[in-house]
Structure 1
């Protein structure tokens, strides 16, 4: 670091997961000076790619037949000049901010990653050129995340695997152990919980324990040779299953920890994930099924999967419903059919002379209101109109307030 000169690179629009292909990167190169300096040029370089390095074993003797080997693939190489080339620039003492902005290429940009035998790395380098002194260079990491949408149809399909094993040896077999496991979809994001559905049947004479775990597998390729590194990220354990018993997992959850998204678009580095559901069997090799997972960057929105799930509920046989329903619904009964003639005569309005005259007139049927087709209910009264005054030992019923 030059005495009296401090240079840094500041990013203004960096998101939580960094940048993706095609996005704009903007920021400032900041110069803090204690005295006046002369500058010939100021450049900003954006570069990076994938690098793999490990030792190849050529034979049985590590001391004589090993040789270091490596591979490199470049994905980003951009250079921006922040000052007019060929001119001398005088910067007085103080703080100076030189803005920059550029767009990342729209092609393949592999996610930033650091693994066992290699890494994918991007960075911004600011280079300050001055007369008669060496160039001053500072670096700033540029985090890149490849966009993986877990809502794509290929990642929304359920995944199911089944396996079975006969426990015992030769003629001392004790019985089969079967395992069937399923998850609702293939794509998930960091922090999501995977719901595991499984059926375990223990037909053997041994006490078994079901478990589930998420594994990450890193693959590094150099000159056609591959080295892998596998590690467990999270696990969950079920209950012991006795001989002749079964156990069902109806959505046992396993949360995905913060991990690097799946990397499948790099020529020399791959990062893959699986959900392994397995059974620990005393004295025998464990029984396992592996369900592939894809860790994405665009969260699950819930609509596509929920709609397909709801639609699947209506695929059941509904033919019984047609037998239970009548072909044509019946009309409600006429009020006159359920009321006695005595009640009808009691609640009918008195016939007037005007009604008699109207009966003799000829009106079209559609303009005459059929007011007697459906009679209204009896009028409310506090005194029973049907009380028999001649009966002994009875009194009229009245409603007291």
Structure 2
């Protein structure tokens, strides 16, 4: 559990220059008496990392790309902030004593450091999807083994976490993750063939990184969230549901067997779920927009269109197939999204590429099992290679 509010909480942020990391540090900066920043880790954004480290008085700043180490050292020269670069430096930063880690490194690159952050007595504010999508069983087993408290950062999982009565889990019928439907919810299907990266990056409600924004447009992100929810909450696959809710006001709901439907509402601002993690089990003041339901006036809902969003179907099928399928799903999607952003393939090709790779990986790996993080990374590498081949043929 989190330290009482009269005790300073020692914090490490992995992915400090991404959207989640920046939001977390915004909250930290507004509450300097509440937090002590132990370490900040980023991939390559040296200038942003240095500025953030100085702003919050971090003890150490680390850049994952080793060749950028001299640049980071120069940027923080005279600040008194220690620096490091490279994989080993990242792992050393994770090992530094702290009370909470914000795990917000994007992509499979976050698997090892986030897994390593699972230590006794810590809390982990988890924003890296790959930990649960690619290695959910391994990750959850390790968290239980060492006693790390997992706190979900995703707005949907945070919402479910807040209204999920752990003591009454056997009385829950289902949980409902909401989805905005992205920018193409009402676009004619024929027009999706000519969607550009610029159009796909214009999310109607959220300001996020490029990959997650494209994944929201295809609804692959919602598929990933279904997989994450399966590992986070003690439910079966058929107890997980998705509902399109364009206003992004209700973030998640839990349906109980007595007919009660509990929902968490909030403005679409990631600082709310992040603050819920940082302050848990308390609440802290956050300068986000307060909901005025009289002005909103109307909330609408609709079932997801599986023809329009085949990626959601693919994710659900992968969850049913098991960890080889879900790890392949994520790897292929990461390569396909990058190819789309580079204009090498079309918008609809993203789901087509992923489906092709998952099918081939299941055929290749028939009868295989995943028993370690190295196994996961091996599946990830193979799936990436297959997807790159598929893209090159297009």
Q: TM class by shorter-chain length?
A: under 0.3
Normalising by structure 1, report the TM-score: 0.19
* TM-score normalised by structure 2 residue count: 0.20
By percentage of residues, which structure has more strand? 1
Which structure has greater helix proportion? 2
Q: Which has the larger radius of gyration?
A: 1
